[in-house]
Structure 1
Amino acid sequence: MSLPFDLPPSDPNLRLRARGAAAQPAGRFEPYARAREHDGWDIPEDERLARTEVSVERPRSVITRNTSPDLPFDRSLNPYRGCEHGCIYCFARPSHGYLGLSPGLDFETRLVARPDAPRVLESELRKPGYSVRPIAIGTNTDPYQPIEQKWGVMRGVLEVLAAHRHPVAIVTRGSLILRDLDVLGDMAGAGLVQVGISITTLDASLARAMEPRAPSPPTRIRMIRELTRAGVPVRVMAAPMIPGLTDHELEAILTEARRAGAKAASMMPVRLPHEVAPLFADWLERHRPGQAEKVLGRIRDMRGGKLNDPRFGARMKGEGEMAELLRQRFALSCKRLGLARALPDLDCTQFHLPPRRGDQLELF
């Protein structure tokens, strides 16, 4: 199969270990693209491993607002930019273009940590007139990706939210969330937190290739079980469902998650915005060449003949017979398993400003 895209190859002397992308396409905002050309010198170069690099950003604000009609939240927070999980289909890859970096390998190897996020968040919560609504975390890049083990930004953010009794909805596939069960359990008891765990496939070999540094499917099922035991309401996110590759697992994913204690479920067909489409097509050709044409064809069937449909109302759902069949299967499975479509609303009435050192104490 000939790909409908022309991707620049990565450095041939760069050894990729547990990486999703194998190319470095220029971001859509870049005026120039790079191409490798032989210089005429047959001098062997040493092979080097593609390693993760982390730089630091000192943000002035961390709460991002949105007015999208497709999203159930109006504010979010990202402790990191880029994601070491390396999921090849990740819709957040194009966001690296805003940094002048590639949505390809750069997205999973050149990461940005925001260690000041907890302090800045506290400052924003204390601004006069702040109106409380749940903050969504993990809606772009995963807050519990591997570098969280060293940087602990998400832990700091969570402690600030807990101290302010501020509601939060977390989306992750990172097992480091279990480290924070102490805080999450207390917040859950007060109706202040809910967690979504995304599971794309139960096939460990497929997950290893498609989501190379994310926890395995059995680990994610265990995460649901342990969060549930701690009293944290969990929603399983069968997302993204990739037609012709993972969509046949929909019922099995929901069943296993329900057995582990998930109370609600959601489902979303894959969407491939901007640079994600050629990266995903390249991955298919490398890892599933016999299925590439079928998978891309079925995605087009759900996206009006294209690999992505950015329109509000359609981008999260897809259209056509394939998309409708997937929705019907999801609805029937949820009904059979007793899975709700959404978790109960979080409590926004408990928000308060904890006293700081030097503050005048209240008499009552």
Structure 2
Amino acid sequence: MQCDYFDAGVCRSCTLMGVEYDAQLAGKVAHAESLLSPWADAMWLPPMTSRPEAFRNKAKMVVGGTVDAPTLGILDGDRRGVDLRGCGVLAEGLRAALPPIAAFITLARLEPYDVPARRGELKNVLLTESPDGRLMLRFVLRSTESLARIRKHLPALLDALPQLAVVSVNLLPEHKAVLEGEVEVPLTADESLAMRLDDVVLHLRPGSFFQTNTDVAADLYHQARAWVDELAPASVWDLYCGVGGFALHVAGPGRRVLGIETSAPAVESARLSAAEAGLADVAFEVGDATAVGGADAPDAVIVNPPRRGLGPELCATLEASSVGAVVYSSCNAVSLARDLAAMPSLRPRRIRVFDMFPQTEHYEVMVLLERVS
């Protein structure tokens, strides 16, 4: 893939830009194989590939420039805005929506936040696209000062972008390097974006986690479903379940599924999806993933932790439990290898790399572990 921004040196976020895709993929597989070499008897399945461009379903754009000439992209070394509206890894629907959003910033007089001066209101624009082309838009603001103007001019934006399903304002009053704050103000009747993946519909609320690459996320869910169906467990727990992607995909007749997640809004979304699908044996709870274990431990567990991995406590809990199998989906093979070493009774049987993030060194890897006596 060729990128004018990368060639000009204005954005180097895609560290593998210009490297042939096959070489990128081979490097990721080699990296995973090196880290997971202590489990040499595991079967490696062929890597799951991605489109090398236009694969990202979300745009996290820092707002810079001025009210009359806003930039949507990143900040340079001097903390000034660099416009990246033509970024080639963004889905086409996202790129097409960015110019009308920039025009709305001018119309509603949303002053971009000046990081060096600590002045201004609009910090970030967060945009997500569903598989059917619907959009969720979030304006990250310093305060509610411009909220009335956004509401006043919102009809014009909805006319310009009829695919907008969810619009909200997120409040981030602090001066710190994060994308969003804790307070969300809905501006549309719909507060969740429906993400349809074949026979499963996930409801994504503002701030909820969903994989960056929709096609590869579907591949992840399908692989987990295939492995779980093969094992045929009567009970499954999905830890770090988010909006319920894995839990809803592995649900089936006679199988009890429980998803556990710390985010209450994500759990609410997952419950809505389960109810719409009529899945009476699927439940979701707000709680700590380390609660698994004891006499009520399930037959199988799915884990999809953040980059830091499961950590010593949960690894020890799983190791000491009666759980017979674990499907581990990881975005960091370094922490994955550390966690696997901490659970010697759960032996990796199959491993597969999923290229969730083309043009970068990052990837997902999924491992099927089964308990050995």
Give the TM-score, by structure 1 length: 0.30
Structure with bigger helix share is 1
Higher relative contact order (CA 8 A, sep 6+): 1
